[in-house]
Amino acid sequence: MLINENTEAITWNTHGELEQALLGCSRCHLRQDAKGPTSYNGSPASPLAIVGEGPGGVEDDYGVPLVGPSGQLLDKALASVGVTRDRVYTTNVIKCRPKNNRTPTIEEGQFCAREWLDREMAFVRPKVIIALGSVALKYLYKPDGRITKDRGQWFTTAYQVPAIATYHPAYLLRLTGKELVKAKWEVFYDLKAAVEKCRELAPDYPLQSDVPPDLLALYAGRRQDRQAGHS
Ligand code: SF4
């Protein structure tokens, strides 16, 4: 069952309260096969938000988005445009890992994002959004959006925030040879465009720290809690 009809309309006063409620969510069937929902990492005060697809195995373990192999590739790509992960807000459309890492359906994405992502964005109020991959593009832009055609193009989200889509790092990890080189350059130019717009709209906000964060170390405690069954 996708929707728990008994869901109550609840409001939260702070981003922290919202995160606590999210970590306890079991409003759809995806929760059954996940260790728990994943929330966000980075800074809720950032003018730059990255919205990915959904958690993989490492993310399910740690309870935060983009910390596994895809996240490490994202870190490198962001470093090439002068950004560290602690200075951006990173989240996903879908918070619970679908069984066997399958791609979530559009309906699953819409349900979870309306429960959580939309509310996160209302607190964070970023000035620029980077949509990573097809699931994020389809939710933030249009359901029939195609990442190969629409990446690199600016669009305005329902939050009235300018956004640009690029390939998800998980896609890059599956490529080799010339295809990989081409896709890496496309990602570089997409990220560069996003960072330039962000610097234009929030010139005083530093997007890079001297020491990049060790996200796995930062969330090791949450991982232990989840392994012990306290998500
Ligand atoms: S996928 Fe989203 S709506 Fe479904 S249980 Fe997880 S957090 Fe809740």
Q: CA–CA distance from 115 to each of 19, 61, 147, 210 (Å)?
A: 12, 22, 24, 35
Q: How far is the CA of 26 from the centre of ligand 1 (A)?
A: 6
For residue range 67-111, what is the model confidence (pLDDT) as tens digits?
999 999 999 999 999 999 999 999 999 999 999 888 888 899 999
Q: CA–CA distance from 125 to each of 117, 159, 195, 204 (Å)?
A: 11, 8, 16, 16
Element of type H or E holding 128: strand 128-132
Whether 83 maps to a domain, the answer reads yes
Q: Using CA atoms, how far apart are residues 108 and 97, in angstroms rounded to an integer?
A: 11
Helices assigned H by DSSP within the chain: 15-23, 57-62, 69-79, 106-112, 118-124, 133-140, 147-150, 169-172, 177-201, 215-218, 220-227
- Report, as an integer, the average pLDDT of 160-189: 97
Nearest CA to ligand 1 atom 3: 112
**Ligand 1 near 115 CB (within 6 A):** yes
pLDDT at 4: 44
Q: How many domains does the structure of the chain reveal? A: 1
Would the pTM of this model clear 0.85, i.e. be above it?
yes
Whether 8 maps to a domain, the answer reads no
How many other C-beta atoms can be found within 10 angstroms of the C-beta atom of residue 146? 13
For residue range 120-135, what is the model confidence (pLDDT) as tens digits?
999 999 999 999 999 9
Residue 24 has pLDDT above 80, yes or no: yes
Whether 227 maps to a domain, the answer reads no
Whether 69 maps to a domain, the answer reads yes
Whether 18 maps to a domain, the answer reads no
Q: How far is the CA of 190 from the centre of ligand 1 (A)?
A: 29
> For residue 165, what are the β-bridge partners?
131
What DSSP character marks residue 113? I
Q: CA–CA distance from 180 to each of 18, 70, 122, 172 (Å)?
A: 38, 14, 36, 6
pLDDT at 231: 58
Supply the CATH number for residue 131's domain.
3.40.470.10
**Ligand 1 near 104 CB (within 6 A):** no
Domain that holds residue 81: 28-220
Whether 182 maps to a domain, the answer reads yes
pLDDT at 229: 76
Q: Cα 138 vs. chain centroid, distance in angstroms?
A: 14
**Ligand 1 near 64 CB (within 6 A):** no
- Report, as an integer, the average pLDDT of 3-17: 70
Q: How far is the CA of 217 from the centre of ligand 1 (A)?
A: 25
Whether 11 maps to a domain, the answer reads no
Pocket test for ligand 1, best of 1, 26, 97 (most atoms within 8 A of CB): 26
**Ligand 1 near 54 CB (within 6 A):** no
**Ligand 1 near 27 CB (within 6 A):** yes
- Are residues 47 and 126 in contact, defined by beta-carbon separation less than 8 angstroms? yes
* Closest CA relative to residue 26, chosen from 36, 18, 16, 17: 36
Q: How far is the CA of 91 from the centre of ligand 1 (A)?
A: 13
